[in-house]
Amino acid sequence: MQCFFNKIICGFLMLLFCSGATIAMPRWYRNAVHKAEHQMLYMISQTDVNARRCFPRTIIKPDGRIQFVNDTDWTSGFFPGSLWLVYELTGNETLAKEARKFTNRLNEIQYYTKNHDVGFMMCCSYGNALRLKPESADTLVMVNAAKSLCTRFNPEIGLIRSWDSGSWNYPVIIDNMMNLELLFWASRQTLNDNFYNIAVAHADKTLENHFRENMTSYHVVSYLPNGEVESKGTHQGYSDESAWARGQAWGLYGYTMCYRFTEKADYLNVAHEIAQYIMSNLPSNKDYVPYWDYNAPDIPQAPRDASAAAITASALLELCEYTADKKLCDKYKKYAENILKQLSSNDYLAEKDTNSGFILKHSVGSLPHKIEIDVPLNYADYYFLEALLRYRQLKGF
Ligand code: GLY
């Protein structure tokens, strides 16, 4: 009898254990993943992988047509990256096959030296491919891309040049912190310190010159040939002294990622300080998606930027891992969860077969240039998915 009773308990516990993953997954989360999967399949059905411009970036208003870009656009890696991440979230093999096709369309970018964005382009596409379904050529493609990025480093100035356009002498934007991931990865992969040293030089000098007293960052800092600062200002923010929302998110994510590879306390400290600024400047209580610029003059009418929210959520979930203070870590986790819940609500998460196949609504590309205002953006989707994955890993469901 005792034995029979034990068997029942055992069976019950087994059932509980096996089905635990499903029980623990919150409904908002499951709904978000389900819709993301649907939207990516819908997007694929509208996208020709063989077209020259085959990477969906945003929509064109007012009719909502998808704006496709070619491989050299800075956002080209996000669509393949999103396909990989939804594959990781769902196990849907169709998405993995499509992710591989779109990833391979970026093959030539390994030799591209005309922008600083190859880190975004290659880490999101080939980086995820390597992690999830590697093929023999992937590593070399990534290493070559890292070499291409290094050609933009000027040792006199000590930084990687961001743009070749504009009237600046040597512009460096806070966004560029994100591209360092490719160099850190390449350094580990090849055991060549040059990649590491360039990344650290760039991160150190950005830390020196990009931040204000309150730890918000300038968008663009330009340098003279001798390495001195030429100017500090903005390109996509409201004003030279304002805190452009996505810039703050890039800084937070960038320095958290730099800490992952270097364990340098300075990087961790700046990440904590940026996080503090972001969390103290939320739009209102229970509202976690920032306006496009923290100093936008028309708040609360100003457009929101879901992309900044998604990048912030993903970064905070990583930062929590490096935070010894459990209370602070919990605070980051909770804040990220609140962002994810809000982005998963009907306010931001697109209904199936709407939003031209993008997952999230309401981001801003560049308001001062009147480009991409209140639209879906492929990088908002990418970092939303990455944050969902990190959240799942942290929660263990
Ligand atoms: N890296 C360009 C942007 O964030 O808009």
Residue 373, by phi and psi: left (phi above 0), alpha (psi -120 to 50) or beta?
beta
Calpha distance 124→36 (Å, rounded): 17
The verdict on residue 67 lying in a domain is no
**HEC per residue, 184-213:** HHHHHHHCCHHHHHHHHHHHHHHHHHCECC
Q: How far is the CA of 66 from the centre of ligand 1 (A)?
A: 19
The verdict on residue 79 lying in a domain is no
* Sign of the alpha-carbon torsion through 283, 363, 32, 318: negative
How many other CB atoms are there within 10 angstroms of residue 195's CB atom?
Answer: 24
**Diameter of the chain measured on Cα atoms:** 86
What residue's CA is closest to ligand 1, atom 2?
A: 175
- Name the DSSP class of 81: H
**Which of ligand 1's atoms lies nearest the C-alpha of 173?**
1
Give how far Cα 304 sits from Cα of 18, 62, 220, 349, 365, Å.
Answer: 41, 19, 22, 14, 11
pLDDT recorded at residue 64: 95
Q: How far is the CA of 354 from the centre of ligand 1 (A)?
A: 25
Ligand 1, CB cutoff 6 Å, lining residues: 74, 175, 236, 246, 365
Name the token pair of 286. 């229970």
CATH number of the domain that residue 19 is part of: 1.50.10.10
Q: How far is the CA of 379 from the centre of ligand 1 (A)?
A: 9
How many other CB atoms are there within 10 angstroms of residue 323's CB atom?
Answer: 20
pLDDT recorded at residue 185: 98
**Which of ligand 1's atoms lies nearest the C-alpha of 307?**
4
**Which of ligand 1's atoms lies nearest the C-alpha of 250?**
4
Tens digit of pLDDT at every position of the chain (397 positions): 344 444 444 454 444 444 445 558 999 999 999 999 999 999 999 999 999 999 999 999 999 999 999 999 999 999 999 999 999 999 999 999 999 999 999 999 999 999 999 999 999 999 999 999 999 999 999 999 999 999 999 999 999 999 999 999 999 999 999 999 999 999 999 999 999 999 999 999 999 999 999 999 999 999 999 999 999 999 999 999 999 999 999 999 999 999 999 999 999 999 999 999 999 999 888 899 999 999 999 999 999 999 999 999 999 999 999 999 999 999 999 999 999 999 999 999 999 999 999 999 999 999 999 999 999 999 999 999 999 999 999 999 9
Calpha distance 257→120 (Å, rounded): 13
- Name residues whose C-beta falls within 8 Å of residue 182's C-beta, 6 or more positions apart in sequence: 118, 119, 122, 123, 127, 142, 145, 146, 149
For 252, half-sphere exposure in the C-beta direction (CA atoms, 13 angstrom radius) is 31
Name the token pair of 388. 């969902």
The verdict on residue 25 lying in a domain is yes
Name the token pair of 306. 């879901």
The verdict on residue 351 lying in a domain is yes
The verdict on residue 177 lying in a domain is no
pLDDT recorded at residue 1: 38
Question: What is the best residue among 165, 236, 372 to mutate for testing ligand 1's pocket, by most ligand atoms within 8 Å of CB?
Answer: 236
Give CA 294 to chain center in angstroms. 19
Q: How far is the CA of 374 from the centre of ligand 1 (A)?
A: 15
The verdict on residue 33 lying in a domain is yes
Domain membership of residue 385 as a residue range: 6-45+259-397
Count of domains forming the chain: 1
Comparing CA positions, the residue from 110, 113, 106 lying closest to residue 54 is: 106
pLDDT recorded at residue 10: 45
H/E segment holding residue 248: helix 245-262
Give how far Cα 237 sits from Cα of 41, 75, 105, 240, 324, Å.
Answer: 34, 19, 32, 7, 34
The verdict on residue 359 lying in a domain is yes
The verdict on residue 239 lying in a domain is no
